[in-house]
Structure 1
Amino acid sequence: EIIGAESLGVRGLCCFVETRERNILIDPGVALGYMRRKLLPHPVQIAAGEKAQKRIIEAWSESTDIVLSHFHGDHVPLADANPYQLDAGRLIGLNHEVRIWTRDPAHFSLVEQKRAEALAAILHVRLISAEGEEHGPMTFSGPVPHGQANNPAETVMMTRIEEDEVFVHASDIQLLDDETVSLIIHWKPDIVLAGGPPIYLSRLSEDQIKRAWHNAERLCHAVDRVILDHHLMRSREGLEWLKRLSSETGKSVMCAADFMNKSRLLLEADRERLYERMPVPHGWHEDYATGKTESRREARESNE
């Protein structure tokens, strides 16, 4: 079950995997893109975020294992969450027996270290270093680049889960590092959920786009079911990218919404259009941030 991703209306790459003996929740965080084109999230997207957060909290309660690939705000609950992220305080007292697996703290950035310490303190849990380890059906990678392999402070951990099939979760790899994609292929997955390239960013070079395309083709030729989402779906160009990839590889490459048999909701990409179609009253976001019930009800109703 994919709970949160850009094609489902929110930032993230959260999923819930059930095996015979484990319930594994990966990257239980949500964000909405605090500011895009000088606009805060539209109430329709905020409602989608509330829905995703509710399901994450339910899945947290049901989990035997929780995996945190890295500590960016769209992948983990935060002690200092903004109004559109998952507040770690909402998880206090839930599921004391759950095992929480993370990267080696030696590979945390300073911000990640502070977030990890705050999360452990507020939930009264121990975070287990998992890089390169195996535990039951789960195998964890060592640190792999968050995008290109030129910033050792920005790494993520991938997860392989094997039972009847092999599933690989590859958050935020952006398909920009050849060795990372080679490791995924070496793991011989039947299905891969990966973060695609951030083609919405003007700083992404032509060489990087070509590399991501080449690595996407490699994945498609090696893996039966490929799901690409996250950064890729922050613009409508991502849909065209997937369509062309499917055409040229002969594979039906999916986004998260496709996999979940849901309508594609690129709410961040469509933010300007949403504001044009459904103007937001002045002060709405301030009211929402302070918990006024009218704003929260309107957000829910906008998503119905």
Structure 2
Amino acid sequence: MFIRPIGEESLGVRSMSLYVETKDLRIILDPGASLVPIRFGLPPHPREFEALRGFREGLMKLVDKVDYLFISHYHRDHFTPPYGSLYMGTGDRDYETVYGGKVVFAKDYETVNPSQRRRGIGLFKAMQGLVGKWVKCDGQVININNTRLIFSKPIPHGKPGSRTGYVVGLAIIDDSGSLLYLPDVQGPLSNEAIDFALSIKADVVVIGGFPAYLLGRAFKQEDLDLAKSNLLRIWSQGRPRRLVVAHHLLRVINWREYLPMGVRVETYASLLGLSDNLLEARRKELYETEDPGKDYVNKFRSRAEGKEESNED
């Protein structure tokens, strides 16, 4: 099994996009990325837009190779929308290239929160006559020759009852090994995420980390303690060969301080042999060391498409 990161916070953008190849299939997990419109009171730095362009170029090269796509949920950084977006780096018709002729395994948009449901329905309608097949994948097990795809039932996006809804995790298993992909479980913070992880006990686990940048606001110390305990359980009981912690946790520079003791983790960047490039976490620093000027900042004042530090509702 071959695994290649496409986009993620350690690569400069909000994303968890992965390319996975087995003898039987080529699939992209969560073909999307975004930049948060406002962080530290500032719009994205030019370096972030450069990273977003790099993500889009890399994604467009890979979509020609794949027959399958997976969409875990409908937050803006996990799918390519059917319209142009500055903060997602898309042109008006990019989605046709991404989805055209593909089999799309997608989270059921009926079991998400209202804003995700609107996006899911909009994407589904745009896919009519474009995709090869649209499959609501929640809870399904699908065999493609000797490769097995195990889709979880809906897992809370973080804490149970969170207004941010639900996601679907995915295990990919073939005779060479296994991958568990658990996006946006935020630590994890739910028993559903733990249960799915321990039912698979994959060789490689890719998991969305705790949103330390929201500690003291949307999350409390007890949430962090639970996230650390649960991640330790996955490490000690699941015994993965490689544990990749990604996404929300890497929105702070000192993210390793929020990990439990004794757990060895990697990042998307380290899988590629690169150093972490935490551009969003460094946004304020970038403005201090590479100031793009007041005119640059002013042109974003009427364009912000989301709330301070969040575009994931």
Per the normalisation by structure 2, the TM-score is 0.85
Q: For residues 59-113 of structure 1, what are the alpha-carbon distances to aligned partners after superposition, in whole Å with 9 as ceiling and x for unaligned?
A: 2222111000000001011235530204362132556331001122320333223
Correspondence 1:157 to 2:168: yes
110, 116, 140: which one aligns with 2:151: 140
Task: Report if aligned partners of 2:152, 2:170 keep a CA contact under 8 Å in 1.
Answer: yes
Correspondence 1:98 to 2:102: yes
Query: Partners of 1:279 and 1:94 in 2: how far apart?
Result: 34
Gaps of at least 5 residues in structure 1 are 290-304
Q: Which residue of 1 aligns with 2:292?
A: 280
Q: Report the CA distance shift for 1:14/1:208 in structure 2 as closer, same or farther (over 3 A).
A: same
53, 63, 68: which one aligns with 1:60: 63
Task: Report if aligned partners of 1:13, 1:171 keep a CA contact under 8 Å in 2.
Answer: yes
SS in 2 for 1:63: coil
Correspondence 1:235 to 2:252: yes
Query: Partners of 2:222 and 2:59 in 1: how far apart?
Result: 37
Q: Which residue of 2 aligns with 1:186?
A: 199
Q: Report the CA distance shift for 1:183/1:256 in structure 2 as closer, same or farther (over 3 A).
A: same
SS in 1 for 2:206: strand
Q: For residues 3-61 of structure 1, what are the alpha-carbon distances to aligned partners after superposition, in whole Å with 9 as ceiling and x for unaligned?
A: 11111111011100001120010011111111101101101111011101111122222
Gaps of at least 5 residues in structure 2 are 302-313
SS in 2 for 1:55: helix
Task: Report if aligned partners of 1:24, 1:65 keep a CA contact under 8 Å in 2.
Answer: yes
Task: Report if aligned partners of 2:80, 2:98 keep a CA contact under 8 Å in 1.
Answer: no
Task: Report if aligned partners of 1:89, 1:122 keep a CA contact under 8 Å in 2.
Answer: no
Q: Report the CA distance shift for 1:94/1:214 in structure 2 as closer, same or farther (over 3 A).
A: closer
Q: Which residue of 1 aligns with 2:93?
A: 89
How many residues are paired up? 284
Per the normalisation by structure 1, the TM-score is 0.87
Q: Report the CA distance shift for 1:96/1:78 in structure 2 as closer, same or farther (over 3 A).
A: closer
- AA aligned to 1:117 is I
Q: For residues 153-210 of structure 1, what are the alpha-carbon distances to aligned partners after superposition, in whole Å with 9 as ceiling and x for unaligned?
A: 6000000000111101100001111331122111120111110000111321111000
Q: Report the CA distance shift for 1:86/1:61 in structure 2 as closer, same or farther (over 3 A).
A: farther
Task: Report if aligned partners of 2:83, 2:95 keep a CA contact under 8 Å in 1.
Answer: no
Identity %: 26
- AA aligned to 1:238 is W
Query: Partners of 1:43 and 1:140 in 2: how far apart?
Result: 37
Q: Which residue of 1 aligns with 2:307?
A: none
Q: Which residue of 2 aligns with 1:218?
A: 233
Task: Report if aligned partners of 1:12, 1:31 keep a CA contact under 8 Å in 2.
Answer: yes
Correspondence 1:261 to 2:273: yes
- AA aligned to 2:58 is R
32, 37, 56: which one aligns with 1:34: 37
Task: Report if aligned partners of 1:159, 1:170 keep a CA contact under 8 Å in 2.
Answer: yes
- AA aligned to 2:275 is S
Query: Partners of 1:49 and 1:120 in 2: how far apart?
Result: 24
Q: Report the CA distance shift for 1:127/1:112 in structure 2 as closer, same or farther (over 3 A).
A: farther
Query: Partners of 2:296 and 2:208 in 1: how far apart?
Result: 32
Task: Report if aligned partners of 1:143, 1:155 keep a CA contact under 8 Å in 2.
Answer: yes
Q: Report the CA distance shift for 1:94/1:178 in structure 2 as closer, same or farther (over 3 A).
A: closer
Task: Report if aligned partners of 1:57, 1:91 keep a CA contact under 8 Å in 2.
Answer: no
Query: Partners of 2:125 and 2:63 in 1: how far apart?
Result: 17
Correspondence 1:24 to 2:27: yes
Q: For residues 105-134 of structure 1, what are the alpha-carbon distances to aligned partners after superposition, in whole Å with 9 as ceiling and x for unaligned?
A: 320333223222322343433531011111
Q: Which residue of 1 aligns with 2:310?
A: none
SS in 2 for 1:100: strand
